[in-house]
Amino acid sequence: MKIAILLSIFVAVVVARPDEEFYSKYENFDVKDIILSQRLLKAYSHCLLGKGKCTPEGNDFKKLIPDAVQTECSKCSEKQKSLVAQIIKAIVEQLPLEWEELSKKYNLNGVHMVSFNQFLEKYSKR
């Protein structure tokens, strides 16, 4: 019985580690190049929509978006919340058609819209 408990704990720790690495990877990512370039922002939005090629960062952000929308990026640090919010806010403001598609893709029934908009307002200004 003790071995089963220890094995369960070990598996939980091993499974949890990839998320930590994933989220810590972008602690110092500079988002300004993306949000200041319509071309880059459009490329990232097309990546998130599955309509275009993705950079490694784009693929990672694509995995992060559902968490950001549904839980206000609960696994993210404060810095990462700011990065995600800044990119999404730029898409909202500069690419409304792409934002409409992203909203439908990641928040189909609109349940999380109020809390997500609060998240954007709080973290996009940092």
Structural domain including 23 reads: 2-123
DSSP string, 18-44: HHHHHHHTTTT---HHHHT-HHHHHHH
- Residue 104 is part of a domain; what is its CATH number? 1.10.2080.10
* Domain count within the chain: 1
Dump pLDDT digits (tens) for 33-73: 899 999 999 999 999 999 999 998 889 888 888 888 888 88
The pTM score is 0.75
